[in-house]
Amino acid sequence: MTNNLAPRTSFKPSIVDRLSIRVVVDSSYDLFALKYEHPHVDVSHITFIPGRQMTTLACEWGLSLHLCSERNGETAQHILDFGWTPEIINRNFDLLGIDPTRIDGLILSHAHRDHFGGLAGFVDHYRHRMPDQVPFYVGGEETFREKWLGKKENPFSWGALDGTWLTAQNVTPVCCNQPHDIKQAFTSGYIDRNSFETVTGGSMVVEAEEPYNHFTQAELGGRLVTDLHPDEHATCYIVQGKGLVVITSCGHVGLINTTRAAMAVSGVSKLHAVIGGFHLGPAPLDYIEHTIDELQSLDPDVVLPMHCSGSNFIAAMERRMPDKLITTNVGSLFTFRS
């Protein structure tokens, strides 16, 4: 397992000419999604797939994105997160015609099953068509700790990633607890908690005396504590002449915290877009309003909520920042250009 421990002061991210984000897995698909024009992003929705009219894209609670960027004529492609089950990501990946031979790397935003559940089945299905060596970017070694749900007195396991199995498939974990270049993109590294936001998510981990401990079934008598998501990191791009694009995936540590972290490590103050799950579905209304207050001060050109962002957040955005808001759809393609 590779650890990225480079100091933040030495980090210099890439700049791209174009960034396309394809929604491979999310929880909704509207065949009749309207054509939409926006001054800062090209939006293309999927209706019937040529040659595949007798089938359709599928949805589940989870998220997976195909990221394709271009710089000076060279492209880079990554898969960010893998949904809950392999059946959905594999089905949609095939229907959308994404070429696994072109994948430069895999990224996991954080170790919740709705983001890593499809990974093993995806790798098993497509590994023979991928490049010989595939890096797998994670936020830290805590990504491989078992997560627990339910009440502390009667918890149930939400599973854990098997890093040893991935390594055996030549899918090499790279722990990015510091900012890290991932070919035309970068990860935020550990996200500081310095805004009004609270860490949300509901999962638990076994308390460890030392960081990055791994626990066996026999050791599970240890005390369960709230998961503070130290392994969560954002995937980010800088689009030439436009600014910073921040993909939060789930945003358990806060949309504002995440965005500010990306701005700090990149040195880019112009926020072009925030994209992904913002984990505001269960948030109180006043918390959502406070988030939008802070978001307005950051002044993004585009706000593209997905997954766990929640209908209350979208409704508040429609009221307060309608010119910034774009809603999503499984299969949709969003392209940002210089």
- The band of 218, judged by pLDDT with boundaries at 50, 70 and 90, is very low
| Residue closest to 79 by CA, chosen among 18, 135, 9, 146 | 135
Inform me whether the pLDDT recorded for 324 exceeds 80: yes
Q: At what angle do helices 311-320 and 285-298 cross, to 10 degrees?
A: 50
pTM attached to this predicted model: 0.93
* Stretch among 192-201, 206-215, 322-331 having the lowest mean pLDDT: 206-215
Confidence band (pLDDT; 50, 70, 90) for 51? confident
What is the average pLDDT across 103-108?
Answer: 98
> Across all residues in the chain, what is the average pLDDT?
92
Is the pLDDT at 316 greater than 90? The verdict is yes
Does the pLDDT value for residue 173 go beyond 70?
yes
What is the share, in percent, of the chain residues with pLDDT greater than 70?
Answer: 93
Pairing outcome for strands 37-38 and 333-337: unpaired
How long, in residues, is the chain? Answer: 338
CATH classification (class only), 2-337: alpha beta
